[in-house]
Chain A
Amino acid sequence: MPLRSAPLPRMAGQLSFMRSQTKSISDVRSGDLAVIGIPFEDTSASHAGQSLAPRALRETSVYFGWHANPQFSHPVDIDARQDISTDGLHERLCDLGDISSGPDDAIHAALKAATLQISGKGACAIILGGSGPLSETVRGALPECQTAQLGGIPDEALDFSIAPLTNGRELTGELSHSKQLAAFSEWRDSSKPLFVRFDLSVFETSLSALCDRPRLGGCDLDTVAQWLGALGQHDVGAIMLTGLNPSRPGMGVVKVGQRLMVTALLAFIYARLGFGIDHPDRQTSKENVLA
């Protein structure tokens, strides 16, 4: 699909993730980053609204659709003074839309099938939740994967947990970031792909207030972005975003939580694409673009 020739106002046009191309699942290719939304939530949540998260995340992602906006030149990370290449982003990133609504069983079956198809093609699924329990379905579709989890409540002893909620197993709580990375390297089995669960509760609550599981003492954005950038350099079968409730009572107008998640997710996407990451084994952007 050619790039658009004129910039589109952010609130207009087809709402795809970062203004990426839209595809059907059958057209996903090896190496793609395939975004899929699951706008559903379990009824046990304390506040309704997590089903609105996929749309909220897409709306916010449009702010980062640099590659589709010809009036801008390349972006620069102002702190690192590092040029960010967007070559290939348009070819590799695609939006598959949302899982269709239906009975619970049908939703879980569709999510499982979609995850299997995307990973089976050698692509990485970026799954926009939706409430956390849906990630169990994704995990079930990827039994060969190791699971790394940011935030949320860990439920498998074999998982690697980064800043879990307090009733979870604290693998990394008192370690410095470099020691945490070392612990991750020790845990990681590079013969297996990764499944990354990215819950909004990894962040310090005062940063967003849009999380149904608030926590004090969570991570700041830089820490989460560093983790996602590091995880993105591995073979990742799927990453799933959960925990965002854009309609938290009284806070729906404050679109801070989705901005936090998408900003951090960019580090993962750019690491997967091999852009702007100082990693000795990374591919250059041109090498990494499929013909």
Chain B
Amino acid sequence: MSDALDALVERDREHECPGFGPDKVCVRIVAVAKLPSRFGDFRVVAFWNNRDQKDHLAIVHGDVVGAEGVAVRMHSECLTGDVLGSLRCDCRDQLETALSRIGALERGVVLYLRQEGRGIGLANKIRAYALQDRGLDTVEANLALGFRDDERDYAVAAHMLQSLGLGPIQLMTNNPDKISQLQKYGVKVASRLPHLLPPNPHNRFYLETKARRSGHYIDFSGTPHLQEQSDPVLVEGMIDK
């Protein structure tokens, strides 16, 4: 199982996409290693790209190179949630759920995209939190802080999927728009798998409160929640609107 991915590292040495340049995305697979984790047996694939000076990752389970119907989840880096266990967002739940589900399948991929705060950067995300703490209308404030357009992120993600040599994929998302975005960049999406989070004490409020505005929830501690992944949060038992 290791050979196919290792071969991609060889393949991408000195690789340059045709038309490689400032306005074209080019990615290379630069390293592959085993990543046994509490969520299952994975391999981690490191990518280089010419766009954002960020090392994006693919966390791969099973034989995916050349396979069809591979389950794929795109996750945007969220240091506060993923690493620090912040309850201001649901990123850790989303990531852990994706890794456990994929770890239980025959094969699958989590793309770990290093676009903190959906691309606005960590410092601006903390600034947005600070505005929320002051009780401002945070929807407005966040619009202003301006989640960067997702477009270029999809371009890089799509290219990463293509580099892995995946056939038509099954995308784990609650946002059908993501499918058309990826398709725009040439990724074949065979179907969509809803990404439902198992209920837990931290996300229980989703089942009990109604969103005041799109993607805007107040949790039990009174802290506003924002959608940091470009997916609406769906908890099992919630009515899918």
Whether chain B is bound by chain A comes out as no
